[in-house]
Structure 1
Amino acid sequence: MSKVWFITGANRGFGYEIARAALDSGDRVVATARRPQEAEAALKEHGERVLALPLDVTDTDSVVAAVAAARERFGRIDVLVNNAGYGQLGYFEEQSPQSVERQFATNVFGVFDVTRAVLPVMRAQRSGHVITVSSLSGIIGIAGSPVYGATKFAVTGWSEGLGRELAPFGIHATCVHPGMFRTDFLDPTSVGHADVEIDDYAPFRAEQRAYLEASNHTQPGDPAKFGPAIVRLAALGTPPERWAAGSDALASFTQRSRELADSATEWEELSRSTDIPQD
């Protein structure tokens, strides 16, 4: 039986590539976006198997309405892809409280609200798969993007715990960690930068901006291959809790696992010293 996908941010980037791959595999897709007309135009060749809907993940009413429309049209939701989000880059002290709140509202609380709306459908089915797009920055903290990384670490831990809660209902959860892919993530229309300038950070800020500009559209990851990989994940009977997308993300997995093991060994005595002695 074909699956029904509910994808946020489906009008471009990863969301579009996942939608296209799912449709190419014969599945049906609810393509949601703040500008659904873009998703509808890009996927129109697939006809009635596509339902393009307006959805702003920071607007609870639009989330609830989109999930209701999806269920009315297709009767079920088999795969939720939490993809919508953006990068708020810059040094922590150079980001205003308002910009930090906006970043969390989209990348964390928006993910929570969409998932909260979809889960009753999946529980009723006793099946489903929640796929959440995190980041390489959700594996290793990176200077120059700690707020963005904080949102991605947040959804990573949330996804892992959520998956264990949902397992009794036959629902899986996978957190996807993409590395650097050649999308529009670093374009001015997508990325946000620090909105406060502090002189001490000026040289670091300039260096980061130069690096990002040089990296844009030269990244090693191929977004056209990302979509089919997600479709493969969704087809697995036992999907992973976490998956690294790209060789750079895979290297970060390996680096973090070694760092944790080395830290545990180095500080083992101090760690054990806090226990109550056992008789």
Structure 2
Amino acid sequence: MITLSESKVWLITGCSTGFGRHIAQKAIVAGYKVVVTARNVQQVTDLVAGHEDQVIALSLDVTNPDQIRNVVDRTIEKFNRIDVLVNNAGIGYFSSVEESVEEETRKMFEVNFWGLMHVTNAVLPHMRSQKSGHIINFSSIGGLASFPTLGYYHATKYAVEGISESLSQELKPFNIHVTLIEPSGFRTDWAGRSSVKTETSIPELKESIVGQMLQGIELGVGQENGDPAKAADAVIKVVETTEPPLRLLLGQQAYDTATYKFNSLLASIEQWKETTINADYK
């Protein structure tokens, strides 16, 4: 058990359910100081009970700049530093690309990408002044490979992947690590209350893989292979290692999908190698 005087300070977004709640519980049990947040703070106050010197609960909608500033200020006021930022808050959206509703997709970008970056940018000055820190950005296997009916969701996660990779290079001189967490299907609320679905109305799409996928996603809620408690253990392990990875896949499906994607990509690159290199001036 880590003593409170020696423990790192964790700031975790989206702690009401799913990954965020499991990570918060594991970090608290491990003895870390933890700031748990949710849009409705009443959903996370139970995490504080019995740990009042170690844990605080704060309201945070990651699309609200004033709340972001308040959470960061309150964390520094209470614990003097922020060592680990877990950007977990996020939502899903299911629809064919053609039928996706712009209002819903923009809302998802505000949470999954801009919200993540606004929280990160609010925390970074403190980590740079400490010359240490670890940013955990929740992506998805959907940040590496794409599937029907998730086009705009993938777009948000590909954006998180790209900016995190750049950020990791920029922050390396300051001893700040960045890790992308890339889960496959886990038993969280992601495909349930934390997502929106637009039913297909185009007959050809409804009879195609689009309709099949939308139906399969609905039937699969609560049946996913991934255990969020084990995912939380993995996040704790990554934070505690001295050389954390840039990317951590979670779940057998994530491993299988990623290896298939990159083996196929490499084969295609090699197949078209001559055409590729002949595009240069000679």
The equivalences for 1:90-105 within 5 A come to 90-105=95-110
Find 1:145's aligned residue among 128, 145, 150. 150
2:223 aligned residue: 218
1:160 aligned residue: 165
Q: Taking structure 1 as reference, are residues 195 and 114 closer, same or farther at Cα in structure 2, changes over 3 Å only?
A: farther
| Contact preservation (8 Å) 2:8, 2:83 | yes
1:191 aligned residue: 195
Structure-2 separation of matches of 1:94 and 1:46: 47
| Contact preservation (8 Å) 1:6, 1:80 | yes
1:62 aligned residue: 67
| Contact preservation (8 Å) 2:127, 2:176 | yes
Higher helix share: 1
Asked if residue 245 in structure 1 is aligned to residue 250 in structure 2, the reply is yes
Residue 112 of structure 1, CA deviation: 0.7
Identity of aligned residues (%): 38
Letter matched to residue 25 of structure 1: A
TM-score, length-scaled by structure 1: 0.95
Which deviates further from its counterpart, 260-269 or 126-135? 260-269
| Contact preservation (8 Å) 2:182, 2:254 | yes
1:87 aligned residue: 92
| Contact preservation (8 Å) 1:13, 1:184 | yes
SS of the residue corresponding to residue 259 of structure 1 reads helix
Asked if residue 228 in structure 1 is aligned to residue 237 in structure 2, the reply is no
Letter matched to residue 203 of structure 1: E
Q: Deviations over 1:86-126 (max 9, x none)?
A: 11111111112211111111100011100000001100100
| Contact preservation (8 Å) 2:139, 2:183 | yes
2:280 aligned residue: 275
SS of the residue corresponding to residue 184 of structure 1 reads coil
Unmatched 5+ residue regions in structure 2?
1-5
Find 2:82's aligned residue among 64, 77, 89. 77
Which deviates further from its counterpart, 162-171 or 259-268? 259-268
Unmatched 5+ residue regions in structure 1?
none
Residue 212 of structure 1, CA deviation: 1.2
Structure-2 separation of matches of 1:182 and 1:40: 22
Residue 196 of structure 1, CA deviation: 7.1
| Contact preservation (8 Å) 2:187, 2:224 | yes
| Contact preservation (8 Å) 1:95, 1:195 | no
| Contact preservation (8 Å) 2:139, 2:182 | yes
Which deviates further from its counterpart, 85-94 or 195-204? 195-204
2:205 aligned residue: 201
Structure-2 separation of matches of 1:246 and 1:196: 29
| Contact preservation (8 Å) 1:11, 1:42 | no
Structure-2 separation of matches of 1:43 and 1:113: 25
Structure-1 separation of matches of 2:206 and 2:20: 34
Structure-1 separation of matches of 2:33 and 2:140: 26
1:46 aligned residue: 51
Letter matched to residue 204 of structure 2: D
Letter matched to residue 199 of structure 1: P
| Contact preservation (8 Å) 1:96, 1:196 | no
TM-score, length-scaled by structure 2: 0.94
| Contact preservation (8 Å) 2:96, 2:200 | no
Which deviates further from its counterpart, 94-103 or 195-204? 195-204
Letter matched to residue 170 of structure 2: E
Which deviates further from its counterpart, 246-255 or 168-177? 246-255
Tell me the C-alpha RMSD between the 2 structures: 1.3
Which deviates further from its counterpart, 208-217 or 267-276? 208-217
Letter matched to residue 14 of structure 2: G
1:264 aligned residue: 269
